């Protein structure tokens, strides 16, 4: 086990892959923070499923397995999917969640039809499209790794440069518009970046689980802080960590697909955060509650009932601030 670990690390090829999945996790964590704040967590899931027909059509038209073309196809079908979700919620009485589900499943259904069509036409193995289901970071080609790493870096860079703008658009789009910012452009840009993060994430963790790469690190980071800057950094670190751990474990242990391991690593980080984070974590909350209970009992025990009433008022106030 250990020897295979060290030999794994000595391989420069795999070092690159590790680097790539680390950057990928970092990028998706950062983008995911904005998606979470804008209450669009599941949009990533829908976009990932919707990417499948785009990828298949790109392959059918070009006949080559080129990651750049796949990304282009996925972006186009992702844009169509977001437009579809928007149109359904805007022009009918169907709600957001059902619209997401409809677009997700119908696009995916079309994608599956196209994929089986490709497989039946004989060059399915050569395309290796089934890798897209669960991802196989460890078997990525070096050129793909460069591309994934470079794209993630660009995403992170854009987030860093436009941090102030994205922050304002996420928290208070109305105010941002009032300040004279081009909110529509910024929102579209964030959406486009989400699509790109999802598409390169599919490569590593697969269609079904790529949503976790966006959601889980961001939510885990939310437990630790109330400041967006800190949250974005934390989410990036969590995402990068889970990406690296997932690639390492699935690279050394055979038979384990990368995606699920990465997602479980992220979920573990989330569980730790939800339990142990100071202030917002479950344990901190329980401790605070029991402390308050003791306090209230003490106040209520004293003969001056007025003070007891004041304490329970204070207790009720804190509780409502809590939730």
Q: Which of 69, 76, 80, 106 binds another protein (CB under 8 A)?
A: 106
Residue 264 engages another protein in binding (rule: CB under 8 A)? yes
Using the contact rule CB under 8 A, the part of the chain among 8-16, 19-27, 60-68, 255-263 near another protein is 255-263
Residue 49 engages another protein in binding (rule: CB under 8 A)? yes
The number of beta carbons lying within 10 Å of the beta carbon of residue 229 is 11
Sign of CA dihedral 296, 299, 303, 308: negative
Q: What is the distance between the alpha carbons of residues 84 and 103, in angstroms, rounded to a whole number?
A: 7
Per-residue HEC secondary structure of the chain comes to: CHHHHHHHHHCHHHHHHHHHHHHHHHHHHHHHHHHHHCCCCCHHHHHHHHHHHHHHHHHHHHCCCCHHHHHHHHHHHHHHHHHHHHHHHHHCCCCHHHHHHHHHHHHHHHHHHHHHHHHHHHHHHHHCCCHHHHCCHHHCCHHHHHHHHHHHHHHHHHHHHCHHHHHHHHHCHHHHHHCCCCHHHHHHHHHHHHHHHHHHHHHHHCCCCHHHHHHHHHHHHHCCCCCHHHHHHHHHHHHHHHHHHHHHHHHHCCCCCHHHHHHHHHHHHHHHHHHHCCCCCHHHHHHHHHHHHHHHHHHHHCCCHHHHHHHHHHHHHHHHHHC
In angstroms, the Cα distances linking 31 to 17, 24, 130, 190, 285 are: 21, 11, 26, 8, 28
Residue 36 engages another protein in binding (rule: CB under 8 A)? yes
CB of 36 or CB of 166, closer to another protein: 36
Using the contact rule CB under 8 A, the part of the chain among 58-66, 69-77, 114-122, 293-301 near another protein is 114-122
Using the contact rule CB under 8 A, the part of the chain among 66-74, 75-83, 263-271, 299-307 near another protein is 263-271
Q: Which of 61, 62, 130, 179 binds another protein (CB under 8 A)?
A: 130
Least distance CB 113 / another protein (angstroms): 4
Least distance CB 220 / another protein (angstroms): 9
Least distance CB 84 / another protein (angstroms): 9
Using the contact rule CB under 8 A, the part of the chain among 184-192, 237-245, 251-259, 307-315 near another protein is 251-259
State the binding string over 199-228 for another protein (x if CB under 8 A, else -).
---------xx-xx-xxx-xx---------
Residue 108 engages another protein in binding (rule: CB under 8 A)? yes
Question: Site for another protein (CB under 8 A): how many residues?
Answer: 58
Residue 151 engages another protein in binding (rule: CB under 8 A)? no
Which residues in the 274-313 window bind another protein by CB under 8 A? 274, 282
Least distance CB 281 / another protein (angstroms): 10
Q: What is the distance between the alpha carbons of residues 95 and 112, in angstroms, rounded to a whole number?
A: 26
Q: What is the distance between the alpha carbons of residues 317 and 144, in angstroms, rounded to a whole number?
A: 54
Q: Which of 57, 75, 261, 269 binds another protein (CB under 8 A)?
A: 261
Residue 232 engages another protein in binding (rule: CB under 8 A)? no
Residue 252 engages another protein in binding (rule: CB under 8 A)? no
Q: Which of 42, 79, 272, 284 binds another protein (CB under 8 A)?
A: 42
Which residues in the 69-98 window bind another protein by CB under 8 A? 88, 91-95, 97-98
Which residues lie near another protein (CB under 8 A)?
36, 39-42, 44-45, 49, 88, 91-95, 97-98, 100-102, 104-106, 108-117, 120, 130, 133-134, 208-209, 211-212, 214-216, 218-219, 255-257, 259-261, 263-264, 267, 270, 274, 282, 323
């Amino acid at each position: 086990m250990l020897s295979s670990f060290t030999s794994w690390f000595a391989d420069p090829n795999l070092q690159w892959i590790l680097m790539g999945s680390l950057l990928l996790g970092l990028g998706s964590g950062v983008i995911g923070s904005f998606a979470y704040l804008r209450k669009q967590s599941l949009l990533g899931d829908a976009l990932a499923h919707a990417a499948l027909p785009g990828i298949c059509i790109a392959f059918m038209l070009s006949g080559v397995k080129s990651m750049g073309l796949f990304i282009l196809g996925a972006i186009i079908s992702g844009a169509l999917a977001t437009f579809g979700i928007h149109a359904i919620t805007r022009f009918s009485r169907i709600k957001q969640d059902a619209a997401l589900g409809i677009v997700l499943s119908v696009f995916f259904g079309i994608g599956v039809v196209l994929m089986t069509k490709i497989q039946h036409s004989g060059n399915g193995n050569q395309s290796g499209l089934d890798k897209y289901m669960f991802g196989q970071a460890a078997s990525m080609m070096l050129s793909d790794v460069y591309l994934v790493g470079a794209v993630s870096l660009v995403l992170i860079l854009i987030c860093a440069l436009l941090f102030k703008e994205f922050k304002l658009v996420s928290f208070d789009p109305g105010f941002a518009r009032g300040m004279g910012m081009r909110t529509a452009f910024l929102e579209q840009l964030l959406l486009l970046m989400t699509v790109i993060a999802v598409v390169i994430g599919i490569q590593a963790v697969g269609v079904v689980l790529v949503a976790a790469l966006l959601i889980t690190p961001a939510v885990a980071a939310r437990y630790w802080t109330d400041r967006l800057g800190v949250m974005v950094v934390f989410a990036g670190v969590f995402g990068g960590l889970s990406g690296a751990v997932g690639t390492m474990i699935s690279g050394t242990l055979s038979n384990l697909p990368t995606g699920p391991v990465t997602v479980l690593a992220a979920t573990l980080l989330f569980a730790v955060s939800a339990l142990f984070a100071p202030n917002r974590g479950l344990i901190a909350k329980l401790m605070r509650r029991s402390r308050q209970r003791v306090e209230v009992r003490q106040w209520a025990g004293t003969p001056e009932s007025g003070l007891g009433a004041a304490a329970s008022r204070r207790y009720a106030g804190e509780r409502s601030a809590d939730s």
